[in-house]
Structure 1
Amino acid sequence: MKKYNVVIVGGGSTWTPGLLQSLTKNKNVFPLNRLVLFDIDAERQKIIGEYAKVLFKEKYPELDFQYTTDKEIAYKNMDFVFCQMRTGGYAMRELDEKIPLKFGVIGQETCGPGGFAYGMRSIRDMLQMIEDVRKYSPNAWILNYTNPAAIVAEAINRVYKDDKRILNICDQPVNLLRSYGRLLDMDPYEFEPVYFGLNHFGWFTHLYDKFGNDLVPKIKEIIKRQGFKPVDAEQRDQSWLDTYSIVKDMLEDFPDYLPNTYLQYYYYPEYKVKKLDPNYTRANEVMDGREKRVFAECRLVAEKGTTAGSSVVHNDAHGDMIVEVAESIAHNKNRIYIIITENNGLISNIQDDAMVEVAAILGVNGPRPFGVGKIGTFYKGLMEQQLAYEKLTVDAYFEQSYEKALQALTLNRTVVDAKKARKILDELIKANKGYWPELKKGRSKK
């Protein structure tokens, strides 16, 4: 069996240990010849890298492993690039969340103004990463799950539209499928999902078991009776438990389909703002919780020289998904995943150049997505407003247009008010100096 060369971009992420363990767990079905961690933050990555050395010494001794900040070492002769970068780190995420909250608007990593700010930061680094990868590995598969995936995918599609070896994908649908499996006491790998939407903005219309039975009605009834929890509820922070519990409310109001959890920010922006602490947001929770826990555990493993007794990984859906996606491509498995792709009629009453999220068979030639036909007025209206926001955000980046940025934020359902949007935008511009292109007022370049 062929062995593959893989680079993980964002090697210093707190999610990397789970990904490393997934690679180890799947070494018989997706064997590696070489693995490289790449990050621009050498100090942060070293903590994860030293943990990895111990892990692989014990469980993958034949693997050629290193971590680096050198692009050529990272990208040369690679088969797969797993991309999970976070431009600006948690320090900028904290600002993304807290600046909108000052004005009574949702402060969240990928939704609303926070997602806008993060997206504007991510575009430059994502496009540069693809350029670098193509310089050293023209035929590598780039599997991107960098947030906010909708904005990133839109920007990538404009610049690298003809590059058929870039796949944008998100792990939240996988988390939801696993959570449905917990709810039903079933193996989620047996599910066949039907899904439509935009990233972090979609719905499961059907979920078939291996006998062809639609499980969605049963899932709705169970959630109505007893609520909804993530598959790994015992290891989740309270904010994530709250995120899943509100699915019950969403189903009571809009019972047609099973919603992506992120829709709560668009359905109930006023309610969600009241539940958020402007002085202690999710970024603080992660920095004080998962980040400290993961780094402390990685340091301990490196010091002890063994992973015995280590509990560094709590949620393996993130790592398992991307490894299984790579395996499905490498070995032409043709498994079904929910991916981001250009619409081109998949949702028949949404514009063709929208980057939509749908189920697809995934094999050696990339995704073959499933169409869902025409969607109802309510869902079409929600999607078109969100889609316009996403496209205007990317316009603002490429055209360096203040007006397009203001239009984007005004359209976003978490903001709506243009005067509020302007105040938030002006503060975000100051906070993101050096990360964003300079936004110019007056007529845009197009």
Structure 2
Amino acid sequence: MKLTVVGGGSTYTPELVDGFARLRDTLPVEELVLVDPAADRLELVGGLARRIFARHGHDGRIVTTGDLDAGVEGADAVLLQLRVGGQAAREQDETWPLECGCVGQETTGAGGLAKALRTVPVVLDIAERVRRTNPDAWIIDFTNPVGIVTRALLEAGHKAVGLCNVAIGFQRKFARMLGVAPGEIHLDHVGLNHLTWETGVRLGGPEGEDVLPGLLSEYGEAIAADLRLPRPLLDRLGVVPSYYLRYYYAHDEVVRELRSKPSRAAEVAEMERQLLTMYADPTLDEKPELLARRGGAYYSEAAVDLAAGLLGGTGSGPEEPSVDGGGGRRAGGSPYQVVNTRNGGTLPFLPDDAVIEVQAAVGPKGAAPLAVPAVDPLYAGLMAQVTAYEELALEAALRGGRDRVFRTLLAHPLVGQYAYAETLTDQLIAHNREHLAWA
């Protein structure tokens, strides 16, 4: 099996490599290709990747290259983890929206739109080159904003599934609280990428006992503290929202906080400098503890499980979504996984071609969403509005134009007011002109 990581010079990559090394029985990687145009970073990351494989006794071959076409040739799956414009662009995404009193964040609001406009054309170009070189390869997208990027890939006819680590983080957290193995936890997870709610926590599979009420009763304070939301709010909702919902439920509070401290981008840039120094140490043969603070916790496990399902491992696929009575297992855990995929009627209040983030049965034919119970209008309404924003965002990314950017910002619930949308449109274009072919 050959896997290719585009953006392989990322400081995230050792987390991914660690998962490939530890979980080789689930995903037997024979060749791992790291593709990145930044040769200096790629050399450091590639060296550490080889040492991690050696430490775990993994005999797979690790190749580093700046040549995309050569790197994806013959790959069974291509993993995308890109940051167009680097941390410098992220710094801008997180700062200029604050001038209008709007959240500055890299995946949502005005900053998230800027990232989408920079990213979608690049990802589609990469995907076309993958299709020309290797049309049978699956594309697994980690690149934010995952929902918009995955929708762009699917609408262009690519074999693509999007992946985020929010759900697996909740799964691991709830498993620790309950004292059970993570594979015993099945989440009733519903929403869009970075706009999701855990409406149930089930033991053993989709039909298992829902223990969420007990979790909120016993551990509500700890869960609320992690989300930085008030405990009474969780009690009233009866669900666990993603921490990204804080940008909506406590918008003005978040803006005040963001204005009072250095940006997350500045923190991450400093962490990356430290990590790259560590990666240069020839004696380092495991992912450093600092990497956990960089973000992306557990995404290696999620990636392994998804790739194993898509590439015909022991996962249950769209044609066999049962849990064999007691919650069937593959080596990676549950036969189901939370992914970003086409709605196709799963949430009837959204268009069929919307990309949603839900539990799905994953197999060689792709991801088949499980049935979702009726969604509370409190969540369905916000999902519908953000879905409309994502549709407009994709149109703006594909076709360009100031008016399309303005309409997209006006549609976003974190912007909304026309005066803000006007100013933010000008700011977005000014800060991203070098990445926008039409500007």
TM-score in terms of structure 1 length: 0.88
Inter-partner Cα distance in structure 1 for 2:422 and 2:111: 14
Partner of 1:322 in structure 2? 303
CA distance in 1, matches of 2:79, 2:233: 33
The CA distance in 2 between the partners of 1:109 and 1:249, in whole Å, is 29
Shift of 1:310: 5.3
Q: Which residue matches 1:219?
A: 215
SS of alignment partner, residue 204 of structure 2: coil
1:23·1:30 contact (CA, 8 Å) conserved in 2? Answer: yes
Whether 2:171 is the aligned partner of 1:177: answer yes
Which of these residues, 274, 286, 291, is aligned with residue 293 of structure 1? 274
| CA shift digits 1:153-186 (9 cap, x unpaired) | 22222222xx4x3111211111121122223332
Match of 1:137 in 2: 134
Which residue of the partner structure matches residue 199 of structure 1? 193
**Residue 263 of structure 1: which of 221, 245, 248 is its match?**
245
Alignment of 1:92-107 (within 5 A): 92-107=89-104
16-25 or 192-201: bigger deviation = 192-201
Residue correspondence of structure 1 range 236-251 to structure 2 within 5 A: 244-246=227-229, 248=231, 250-251=233-234
1:293/1:416 Cα in 2 relative to 1: closer, same or farther (>3 Å)?
same
Aligned AA (2:214): K
Deviation at 1:279, TM superposition (A): 6.0
Query: Where in structure 2 are there 5+ consecutive unaligned residues?
Result: 317-334
Runs of 5+ in structure 1 lacking a partner?
230-240, 440-446
- TM superposition shift of 1:311: 4.1
Q: 1:151 aligns to what?
A: 148
CA distance in 1, matches of 2:66, 2:116: 23
> How many matched pairs?
415
Change (3 A) 1:402 1:203: same
Distance 1:141 1:15 in 2: 21
Q: Does the 8 Å CA contact 2:120/2:398 hold for their aligned counterparts?
A: no
Shift of 1:104: 1.5
What is the correspondence of 1:323-402 to structure 2 with a 5 Å cutoff? Answer: 323-330=304-311, 331-334=313-316, 335-402=335-402
2:150 and 2:160 in contact (8 A); partners too = no
Alpha-carbon distance in 2 for matches of 1:192, 1:310: 30
Partners of 1:287 and 1:217 in 2: CA distance: 40
Aligned AA (2:285)? T
> Could you say which residue in structure 2 is the equivalent of 1:442?
none
1:237 aligns with none
For residue 61 of structure 1, report the CA deviation from its aligned partner: 5.7
Distance 1:150 1:214 in 2: 28
Residue 435 of structure 2 aligns to a residue in which SS?
A: coil
- Partner amino acid, structure 2, of 1:113: A
**Percentage of identical aligned residues:** 29
Question: Deviation of residue 79 (structure 1)?
Answer: 0.8
How far the C-alpha of 1:249 sits from its partner, in A, is: 5.9
When normalised by structure 2's length, the TM-score is 0.89
Q: Report the secondary structure of 1:276's partner residue.
A: helix
Residue 366 (structure 1) shift: 1.7
Distance 1:280 1:308 in 2: 30
Give the letter aligned to residue 208 of structure 1: R
Task: Report if aligned partners of 1:98, 1:279 keep a CA contact under 8 Å in 2.
Answer: no
1:345·1:371 contact (CA, 8 Å) conserved in 2?
no
SS at match of 1:433: helix
8 A contact 2:171–2:186 mirrored in 1: no
* One-letter amino acid of the counterpart of residue 130, structure 1: A
Q: Does the C-alpha gap of structure 1 residues 373 and 401 become closer, same or farther in structure 2, counting only changes over 3 Å?
A: farther
* 1:409 partner SS: helix
Q: Any idea what SS the aligned residue of 1:358 has?
A: strand
Residue 83 of structure 1 deviates from its aligned partner by 1.3
Q: Distance in 2 between matches of 1:384 and 1:310?
A: 41
Amino acid corresponding to residue 351 of structure 1 in structure 2: P
Greater Cα shift, 49-58 or 150-159: 49-58
Equivalence map 1:40-189=2 (5 Å)? 40-60=37-57, 62-160=59-157, 163=158, 165-189=159-183
The answer for the alignment partner of 2:332 in structure 1 is none
Encode CA deviations 1:1-20: one digit per residue, 9 max, x unaligned.
xxx10111111112101111
1:350 Cα shift? Answer: 2.3
Residues in 1 aligned to 2:20 and 2:93: alpha-carbon distance in whole angstroms: 32
Partner of 1:411: 411
Determine the C-alpha separation between the residues in 2 that align with 1:308 and 1:133.
31
Distance 2:152 2:435 in 1: 16
